[in-house]
Structure formats: structure tokens, C-alpha cells
Amino acid sequence: MNRIRVAVDMDEVIADTYGAMLGWLIERHGPRWSPETLHGRQLFDMLELDAADALREAMHDGAFFAELPVIDGSQEALSAIASRCELFITSAAMEFPNSLGPKFLWLRRHFPFVDPLNIVFCGDKSVIAADCLIDDNARHFQRFGGQGIVFSSPHNANVTGYPRIRHWNEAIGVLAEVFPGAL
Amino acid sequence: MNRIRVAVDMDEVIADTYGAMLGWLIERHGPRWSPETLHGRQLFDMLELDAADALREAMHDGAFFAELPVIDGSQEALSAIASRCELFITSAAMEFPNSLGPKFLWLRRHFPFVDPLNIVFCGDKSVIAADCLIDDNARHFQRFGGQGIVFSSPHNANVTGYPRIRHWNEAIGVLAEVFPGAL
């Protein structure tokens, strides 16, 4: 039996972009946001226009993406997935083209066991041929040909209809449930 | 009927990377290469080690990719394809990570009608879900799920077994043959 192919998103799934965005905002605007106010909402929807514009401008500088923290447990989980499945990293990066180089180098630094040929930067994830996609944005699942699996983030707390990974230490268990006998 | 999805490679298909590499070499080493000596061979296989290393180093500087000439007829052909099919650009860019940003901006400049969400940078093209892939490297077709179509370049002159586009003005005709009634 061929190994299943698992595609994994980057921002807010293995890279703590959300935490870095929140830290950037709180540093400039004070502690106006908490996990409670953000629950189930998109961060950009909470911002006044000038704060949103300033944050987008900061993100257009690729340096923002060079030093993102690694999401807890992602290295161990992806290493385990890579040993049992065909692992691809699929990141929607086209909104911030300057992030492309820094994101690639970030992956090489923190996930050296991921084959660089298995790194994909794209926009519309319906172009990804994989058995499943682990992503925090369920909108990517609508036209994706495989099984979508939600990775928990405050903004997707209310999303239902897909298997969910709440922490990376659940990942192998969830994959084994979704693909019985394949791992 | 859904529109067919056409994936198109970038280097040596719509961007004249080969010509730029050859120009770079001739400028430094004199006219030691001609279309005749290169017929059916990979450029890097023709080089002594120091010239190959120097060329790779130049290519690791993203600026090499910022000013590539556009392959003759590609803009008109891709515009025609985009109006009849779902068009994606799929470029294997992971060998030169500094090329990612410049390649994206080059596409926006020369192919402004391509949706930026339909741009994909990857390594292993078996991850691309598309009906066909127009590419100069037939090795990408071996694990690709759709139909490979060779785009002619001196190095692939001897490749057989796939439909071939010798010039972009043939593209719509070849696609209409491969996918009868779909265009």
C-alpha cells in the first residue's frame, strides 16, 4: 500500500504567525486583545483600519516571517508523520511575496527533516494533490480534493464539519482515525 | 463541463532562463557553446566544475531571475489559455530560494492577467492537481497525475512519448488535440 500524502499548512499551524501578529499589535497599541475577545473571530476583523494597514505593512517586510516562534509540538509531530507518510508543507504565501524566501529558510532551520522538494508556496490550495490537508483555514477545504483537517486556532473555534487537531500531540491519533490502517 | 486546469512551468517555458544562463557563461568564458553543441544535452552537464559552481552562485542571487526575458509568444498564448481554461503557473524554485520573491514579481509584471492565487512554487510536481502540465523537464511527468506536455528546449530535443509544443503559437492547437472539445 502506498503511503498517504499529508499536506500541512504553515502559518498558525507550525509557525506562530498569529501570536507574532498579536504581540506586534499589543506592543504598539497596548493590551486591547485577549484570547477571550479573539475567540471565534479573525484578527484582522477586530482591528481599526489604520492598525490593520500598519500590521499588513509590517508583514510585507519579509523579516516579520524570519523569526516566528514554532508552534508547540509541531516538530515532534511532523517528524513522526514524515516517518510514516509522505509529508508536504503547503503554505499560502502569495499575499506577502517578500515572505517567500524567509519562510523557506525558516522551514529549513526548524524542520530540517522536511525534504525541500516537498515545500509548496501557493494561493488556491485546490491545486494541491494530497490525501489530507491540515490547515487552520477551513475555506481551503472547499475545493480541495482530499480530506480537510482543522488545526485549532482562536479564529476557527466555531468551525465544524471536519476532523480537528487541537494540539500536535493529537495528530497521529487523528490521522489514524481518518485513515484506518494507513499509518 | 468544468474548464480544464492547465499548469505551466516557468523557467525555459515562459521565462528564458536558459538564454540568460548561456549569456552569462558566454560573457565570462567566451563563445564556447552554440545551439549545436547544446542540442539534446543539459547545460550544466557541459560545464567544467568551476564554471558550473560560478553559475550556480550567480543564480543563488535572486537578481538573476528579476530581469529574465519573456519567451516569445508566451504572453499571447497564456492569455488565450487563461480565457478558456483554469491557468496555474507551477515553478520548481526550491533550488534557489532567493529567486522566489523576484520570480513572483516577474510574473506580476509580465503576466498581470494570471491570478496571483494561481501561482505555485514547489519542488516535486507530483503535488500539483491539474489536467495537464506544460514543462520542459519530462522528469516532472513521471509522478504527475495529469497529462505531461513537453515544451521544446535544446536540452529536451531527444525526449519522446509526450505531446510537444515547439512554439507557443502551437499551444492552443496542441491542447485542443489532447483535450478534444474542452477548449
Interchain CB distance below 8 Å, B120 and A118: no
- Least CB–CB distance from B119: residue in A7, A94, A104: A94
Q: Which residues of A touch B (CB under 8 A)?
A: 5, 7, 62, 88, 90, 94, 97-98, 100-101, 104-105, 115-124, 126-130, 145
Whole-prediction pTM: 0.90
Contacts of A116 (CB under 8 A, 6+ apart): A104, A107, A108, B94, B123
**Residue A170 confidence (pLDDT):** 98
Rounded alpha-carbon distances, angstroms, from residue A114 to A89, A154, B161: 8, 27, 33
Residue B125 and residue B136 in contact, taking contact as beta carbons nearer than 8 Å: no
Residue B9 and residue B63 in contact, taking contact as beta carbons nearer than 8 Å: no
Tell whether the model's pLDDT for residue B64 goes beyond 60. Answer: yes
Better pLDDT: A28 or B33? A28
**Residue A40 confidence (pLDDT):** 73
Q: What is chain A's pLDDT, residue by residue, as a tens digit (183 residues)?
A: 589 999 999 999 999 988 888 888 888 887 777 767 777 777 777 777 788 888 888 888 888 888 899 999 999 999 999 999 999 999 988 888 889 999 999 999 999 999 999 999 999 999 999 999 999 999 999 999 999 999 999 889 999 999 999 999 999 999 999 999 998
Rounded alpha-carbon distances, angstroms, from residue B55 to B12, B30, B43, B49, B52: 16, 14, 11, 10, 5
Average pLDDT over residues B162-180: 97
Average pLDDT over residues B73-95: 96
Residue B84 and residue B3 in contact, taking contact as beta carbons nearer than 8 Å: yes
What DSSP character marks residue B165?
Answer: E
Average pLDDT over residues B18-41: 79
Over B17-30, what HEC string results? HHHHHHHHHHHHHC
Task: Count Cβ atoms below 10 Å from residue B95 Cβ, excluding itself.
Answer: 12
Contacts of B1 (CB under 8 A, 6+ apart): B182
**Residue B30 confidence (pLDDT):** 78
How many Å separate Cα A51 from the centre of its chain?
Answer: 23
**Residue B49 confidence (pLDDT):** 76
The full set of domains in chain B, from first to last, is: 1-183 (3.40.50.1000)
Interchain CB distance below 8 Å, A128 and B127: yes
Task: Count Cβ atoms below 10 Å from residue A118 Cβ, excluding itself.
Answer: 21
